[in-house]
Amino acid sequence: MLIYVDDIIITGSSTHAIKSLISHLSSRFALKDLGPLHYFLGIEVSKVADGSFHLSQTNYINDLLRRTDMTTAKAQPTPMLSTLRLQQDGSTAVSDATLYRSVVGALQYILITRPDLSYAVNKTCQFMHNPQDHHWKAVKRILCYLAGTTNHGLLIKRNSHSSILGFVDADWGHRSG
């Protein structure tokens, strides 16, 4: 079960268990069953013929490309050049630091379905406090890569032996003595 404010996704391998949970929740709360999942928090969910699911953020990426005037950008084969070494200083400050931070924040959200961007986005995040033109150029390279890969995402395959694990670092709440 995934809950975000008043939106809930319930999934599992037992249809009976899912229906039982929905019935129990319906007896305590006002629920509206919207049917099979297609879209959740900017993530598009498509069911594949073999029962797998494809998760993507095509609309979110296209909106970001429109917002940054990059819809006609020439697609790049990689999100970052392997030889690029971003440094703290090296050029002038960007003209709109708020835009830089907003776009990099949007790129962080895209990482949900696009782990291939992790390294490049992490590097551009390191300069949020003082973004410079060469940092913005690196962000634009990521956007050019996205322009050519808008439909890429995660494929979640059905497997009877699969399980989803969650981890949390909750030691802060532990008291000894």
Instruction: Give the model's pLDDT for residue 146.
Output: 97
Same domain assignment for residues 15 and 64: no
User: Is 45 inside a domain boundary?
Assistant: no
Please report, rounded to a whole number, the percentage of residues in the chain having pLDDT higher than 70. Answer: 89
Quote the CA–CA distance of 72 and 111 in Å, as a whole number: 22
How long is the chain? Answer: 177
* 5-9, 17-21, 47-51, 84-88, range with the lowest pLDDT: 84-88
Per-residue pLDDT of 28-53, as tens digits, reads 988 888 888 899 888 999 999 888 88
User: Is 82 inside a domain boundary?
Assistant: yes
Per-residue pLDDT of 105-160, as tens digits, reads 999 999 999 999 999 999 999 999 999 999 999 999 999 999 999 999 999 887 65
Instruction: Give the model's pLDDT for residue 165.
Output: 62
Instruction: Give the model's pLDDT for residue 34.
Output: 85
Domain encompassing residue 8: 1-35
What average pLDDT does range 51-60 have in this prediction?
A: 93
User: Is 142 inside a domain boundary?
Assistant: yes
Q: Which residue has the tokens 């050019």?
A: 144
pLDDT at 164 over 80: no
Quote the CA–CA distance of 22 and 1 in Å, as a whole number: 11
Distance of CA 65 to the CA centre of its chain: 15
Beta pairing, strands 2-4 & 43-47 = unpaired
Same domain assignment for residues 63 and 140: yes
Same domain assignment for residues 62 and 141: yes
Quote the CA–CA distance of 120 and 141 in Å, as a whole number: 9
Instruction: Give the model's pLDDT for residue 99.
Output: 96
User: Is 48 inside a domain boundary?
Assistant: no
| CA dihedral angle for residue 68, residue 73, residue 79, residue 81, rounded to 10 degrees | -120
Same domain assignment for residues 62 and 25: no
Instruction: Give the model's pLDDT for residue 150.
Output: 95
Structure tokens at 37: 């999942």
Same domain assignment for residues 96 and 134: yes
Same domain assignment for residues 2 and 72: no
DSSP letter (8 states) at residue 68:
T
**What is the dihedral sign for C-alpha 60, 61, 62, 65?**
positive
Same domain assignment for residues 28 and 103: no
Instruction: Give the model's pLDDT for residue 161.
Output: 65
pLDDT at 84 over 80: no
Same domain assignment for residues 83 and 29: no
Domains identified in the chain, total number: 2
Same domain assignment for residues 12 and 88: no
R_g of the chain, CA atoms, integer Å: 21
Same domain assignment for residues 89 and 137: yes
